Structure 1
Amino acid sequence: MSAHNVAKSIAKAAKSAFEDSQLVPSAERVNALHHIRKALESNKTEILAANREDLKAAQIEVDAGRMSDSLLKRLDLDKGDKWDSMLQGVSDVANLPDPTGIVSYAKELDDELELYRVSCPIGVLLVIFEARPEVVVNIAALAIKSGNSAILKGGKESNRTTQLLSQAIATGLSQSSLPDTYVQTIQTRAEVSSLLSLDRYIDLVIPRGSNALVQDIQNNTRIPVMGHADGLCSVYLDESADIDKAVRVVLDSKTDYPSACNSTETLIVHESLLQTVWPVVGRALLDAEVRLLCDPPTLSALQGLSPRPPNLSLAGPSTPDAYTTEHLDLTLSVIVLPSLAAAIRFINAHSSHHTDSIVTESEPAASAFCRGVDSAGTFVNASTRFADGFRYGFGTEVGISTGRIHARGPVGLEGLVIYKYMLRSVGTKGHVVGDFGAGGKKYKHADIATTAVPF
């Protein structure tokens, strides 16, 4: 069977699974998630062994210059608390309120004629991601809880890991009333290319990965795409910035996890801080072995320090493209600007509208920054690394969207539902539009006090 026919078969099965699942009680979706977590726990040894094999193969690619070190770091499922966080994310999603069936608008249009706007699933999700194998579990949990079916494609660098994670998910689903095709995985690029043409069956594409991956998908499908191409985040040190807060926020934003999309790539310094706050922050960054790409004023301020920072060789001149580059490592671009207004203009012109933070003791400055910066997240005296679905209390996230419609920022359950309008007549003759208008009835448009659809 050709790749296109295989892809079409998968897409049709996903659509059927979605349609068949709509009458399955929400409690059964929660039951499926609990079974999936147990299956993952039971297969931890095998999954992490497969992940180590993926890491070995990836290291060979890095050594040969065919893969970035940042991609390698994202691949490790056993790093820190990543495994435990992945499992906890499944439980957290299971425990969240059901995002479907929520009434956001209710009106009585006429006596015994009621209109409700009710949240419902999107349909079939196609999620394409690179390296991070835990995304398989994150997306599966969110899709199942929100009533969406999903087709998942991980990067070839994580094939061994994702195959075993997918098997665990399938095991969990098999112990529930949901169709076993509710969450499917694919392996080849040819299948992806074919799926991107199947807008009859697939309702939303969610890419998670490099700029090149996202742009390629956006340019090759008619299906709506939700995601972000870059994570160009910035921190602005306002003229009233507290030194201790500045050091803590900047260091965490850059060094906590440099390869993450919410890691800060640009530091903007108010010109009044060149000889006060900036040298302290700069020293701290150099001590943390951060490579600094500085404009002339910030570089000069560092070079004039006494005593001379031991790692001063890590500071060098920037180029214009440094401020539009997602470094994804311990590299930070630095620029000095004369005002808050200039900083806002600079961020709006250079950032990817992901997440940006201001360090300030001025409430008016904080307010102006949060309103003026056109990004999905605007923070005050807080690390950009907080831009995360788990940290926001979403349980986990399907990704981060910098789009202008539907969902923005970390996308959790609420970002995976849309709504439908339900209209019900309980009149003895039903209702017809011909009864309204000139010489006829008038619409009441009276509020209905309800939190649930009564049918």
Structure 2
Amino acid sequence: MSLTNASPVDAAKAAKSASHVLATLSADARNDALTAIYAGLTAARDDILAANARDLELARQAAADGKLSQSLVARLDLGKKGKWEDMLKGILDVRDLEDPVGRVTLRTRLDDGLELERVTCPIGVLLIIFEARPEVIANIAALAIKSGNAAILKGGKESTESFVAISRVISAALDKTQVPNAAIQLVTTRDVIPELLALDQYIDLAIPRGSNDLVRYIKNNTRIPVLGHADGLCAIYLEESADPSMAADVIVDSKTNYPAACNSLETLLVQDTALSTLLPTVARALAAKGVELRCDAASKAALQDVSNLTLLDATEADFTTEFLSLTLAVKTVSSLPEAVTHINTHGSHHTDCILTSSKEQAEQFMAAVDSSGVYWNASTRFADGTRYGFGTEVGISTNKIHSRGPVGLEGLMIYKYKLRGQGQVSAVYGEVEGKKRYLHQRLPLK
């Protein structure tokens, strides 16, 4: 990994050249690089966590001064809740996945001696712009190398010490492998994001990782295709037949397991017939975890006699807000169609869930909700590349094309067509008399 202060255009040119080399390396060569990165990071653990602690100290002071959000501080902490161990395990998990490069997904015999193949190939050069989240560097490096893509990373100043320490270790590791150092670059020059976003002739895909403001800025200021989501506005619909204990467990985990995550619960939709039977149990469980409830009139009335709750009147804005904290908006709906309409209208197409004992209701919900993840009786926190078995992820996409949901190796691949012939020319083929007809014979995949 090159820790570079080169101009954006020079960095992008170097990445493009490196991507051409990386795309032709064997799976063993790419896997060897991931093994080297894992070993280097393992050996440098204390130094990297010390650098992260310095970033955290400054970030906490900035948050106390109102200059940085608490959710950003939470995402910065590399030693929290096993994040370091998860980061390292993700590298090995990615290494051990099937090679995604060069897989044949279609074979067709157009004519005798004229065979067409569709094979997977890397996208090219990725641009990752991120805030906090120092583990992103290792995640991206692992996924990019395994998938044969080059990557340019630009981190926020709040994680400078962390990502410089990680980058130096990765750079030293790559020097011992066949992967070009310029294939993974961390740009340290300040205020270069606008210039990077203008380099669509070299950069093939932009992936923002951070706040809503960052993602929206990236999407609004580049011609490069963008993979990501601006909001993680996740909702759960609590249907009247749900088991009370199960519902409480799922909702509490979705909201409190990691409130600053994009897959945490922000809106609870409660069927009106469940207000008196299910909501009090759920509300007590949430209150025990310190959750503040912002309720519409009906749900607030149903909870008036429940003690030790923090209840506020919800505003319309609360149902389109990603709180990223222990705050939950609660809204009453009369039916599944009303819940679906609310989610499709106010949600962010990230991850949404129904809690019900009715298979029919669940399948109808999962078919109708237009989100990258739709769940039945499971926490929204499962929306994660590691938990899906992808090793790790470059991010979660709410896009309608290419890749959706947690994006792992498959989402970093495109394809090309290979045609092998024996001197055939297109002019001799056609449907009119005297022309040769195509066979279009599907062949088994090799």
Q: Same fold (TM over 0.5)?
A: yes
**1:146-169, Cα deviation, whole Å (9 max, x unpaired):** 000000111110000000111111
Shift of 1:5: 7.1
- Partner of 2:436, secondary structure, is coil
Q: Which residue number in structure 1 is paired with residue 75 of structure 2?
A: 74
8 Å contact 1:261–1:328 — kept in the other structure? yes
Q: Which residue number in structure 2 is paired with residue 183 of structure 1?
A: 184
CA distance in 2, matches of 1:405, 1:414: 13
Alignment of 1:46-125 (within 5 A): 46-125=47-126
**1:277-335, Cα deviation, whole Å (9 max, x unpaired):** 00110111111110100001111111123xxx22x2x2111000000000000000000
Amino acid of the structure 1 residue aligned with 2:425: V
- Partner of 1:54, secondary structure, is helix
Q: Which residue number in structure 2 is paired with residue 383 of structure 1?
A: 379
**Is it true that 1:422 corresponds to 2:415 in the alignment?**
no
Q: Which structure 2 segments of 5+ residues have no match?
A: none
**Is it true that 1:39 corresponds to 2:40 in the alignment?**
yes
Shift of 1:178: 1.1
CA distance in 1, matches of 2:281, 2:214: 38
8 Å contact 1:156–1:187 — kept in the other structure? no
8 Å contact 2:5–2:189 — kept in the other structure? no
8 Å contact 1:127–1:207 — kept in the other structure? yes
Q: Which residue number in structure 1 is paired with residue 262 of structure 2?
A: 261
Decide which moves more: 70-79 or 3-12. 3-12
Q: Which residue number in structure 2 is paired with residue 234 of structure 1?
A: 235
**Is it true that 1:369 corresponds to 2:365 in the alignment?**
yes
Shift of 1:4: 11
* Percentage identity across paired residues of the two chains: 53
Q: Which residue number in structure 2 is paired with residue 447 of structure 1?
A: 442
Q: Which structure 1 segments of 5+ residues have no match?
A: none
Q: Which residue number in structure 2 is paired with residue 325 of structure 1?
A: 321
- Partner of 1:391, secondary structure, is coil
CA distance in 1, matches of 2:92, 2:263: 24
Q: Which residue number in structure 2 is paired with residue 173 of structure 1?
A: 174
Shift of 1:260: 0.1
Q: Which residue number in structure 1 is paired with residue 337 of structure 2?
A: 341
Give the TM-score normalised by structure 2: 0.97
8 Å contact 1:4–1:191 — kept in the other structure? no
8 Å contact 2:237–2:353 — kept in the other structure? yes
Q: Which residue number in structure 1 is paired with residue 22 of structure 2?
A: 21
- Partner of 2:132, secondary structure, is coil
Shift of 1:21: 2.1
CA distance in 2, matches of 1:120, 1:274: 52
CA distance in 2, matches of 1:371, 1:41: 44
Amino acid of the structure 2 residue aligned with 1:292: L
CA distance in 2, matches of 1:56, 1:359: 41
- Partner of 1:249, secondary structure, is helix
CA distance in 2, matches of 1:303, 1:22: 62
Shift of 1:47: 0.4
8 Å contact 1:294–1:317 — kept in the other structure? yes
Cα root mean square deviation, aligned:
1.2
CA distance in 1, matches of 2:323, 2:81: 22
